[in-house]
Structure 1
Amino acid sequence: MRRLQDFLGDWRLAREITHGDGSAARFEGQAEWRAEDGGALYVETGELIIGTGRFAAERRYRWGADLSVWFDDGRFFHQVPPGGGAAAHWCDPDQYDAEYDFSRWPEWTARWRVRGPRKDYEMLSHYRR
């Protein structure tokens, strides 16, 4: 069972993104969980690699002590299951379904499948210390 303290610190992050039309992209960089206000600030930085080049990219979330994840603007995103498993987020009109796998801790993955009229992709993120 994972706790917030397990995530704190620096991680290498590699992400594969596959779109429904067959196009693909990658993200290479790092993720950091920093203890803050009883939870943690999650910041990932790196490069998004697509057919037209490499672009700087950054994403931020806030994590609660209970592994709840919130967008940086304060909206709830989803709940990470402490033992791994499924999570979901409805972002009208698209459905986001996740699967967390902690079975090879401290290496772990998060797979998101996004389907709807606006979005259609799968994103697999690999984290390791």
Structure 2
Amino acid sequence: MMQRDLKPRVLADFEGKWDLTRQITHDDGSQARFEGTALWTPDGLGMAYLETGLLEMAHATPMQAERRYHWGPDLDIYFEDGRFFHRVPAAGGDARHWCDPDTYDVTYDFTKWPRFKVIWRVVGPKKSYTLASLYHRC
């Protein structure tokens, strides 16, 4: 039986390499899948986050994909250009990012640490999808 680790997360908890799988489901039923790794590395001001992997979409050639963010010591996440994205709730839970005209709602689930889930629900005039990511230590 797996014990649940319910303590609040701190930035150091994320350091290192993680396996990452992501399922993207659009409201029209189309789907995509991402498989790769996420790497948190200290950068003096927090941690640099880099995810790399293969993105597979229906009716398209699989492609290499990557995403970069900066995580601050208080679990604030920033885009590569320095703009604030959102704060990760240390104990898990919900956060929101507004990118006019789209709303990005996220839930962090740390109840099975060192595995965790991040589920985004994105809604806007031309967007409507769910993005479910599962992280686990390599």
The alignment's TM-score, normalised by the length of structure 2, stands at 0.92
Are positions 1:83 and 2:91 aligned together?
yes
Q: Which of 19, 32, 47 is equivalent to 2:39?
A: 32
Instruction: Map residues 21-100 of structure 1 onto 2, 5 A cutoff.
Output: 21-51=28-58, 52-100=60-108
- May I ask how many residue pairs the two structures share in their alignment? 129
C-alpha deviation, 1:28, in angstroms = 0.2
Are positions 1:115 and 2:110 aligned together?
no
For residue 62 of structure 2, give the secondary structure of its aligned residue in structure 1: strand
Distance, in Å, in 1 between the alignment partners of 2:45 and 2:66 is 23
The structure richer in strand per residue is 1
Fraction of identical pairs, as percent: 55
- Structure 1 range deviating more: 31-40 or 89-98: 31-40
Distance, in Å, in 2 between the alignment partners of 1:100 and 1:110 is 5
Structure 2 partner of 1:13: 20
C-alpha deviation, 1:122, in angstroms = 0.2
C-alpha deviation, 1:64, in angstroms = 0.1
Distance, in Å, in 1 between the alignment partners of 2:70 and 2:28 is 32
Identify unmatched segments of 5+ residues in structure 1.
none
Confirm or deny: 8 A CA contact 1:34 1:40 kept in the other structure. Answer: yes
Identify unmatched segments of 5+ residues in structure 2.
1-7
Confirm or deny: 8 A CA contact 1:93 1:118 kept in the other structure. Answer: no
Larger of the two Rg values belongs to structure: 2
C-alpha deviation, 1:118, in angstroms = 2.2
The alignment's TM-score, normalised by the length of structure 1, stands at 0.99
RMSD: 0.6
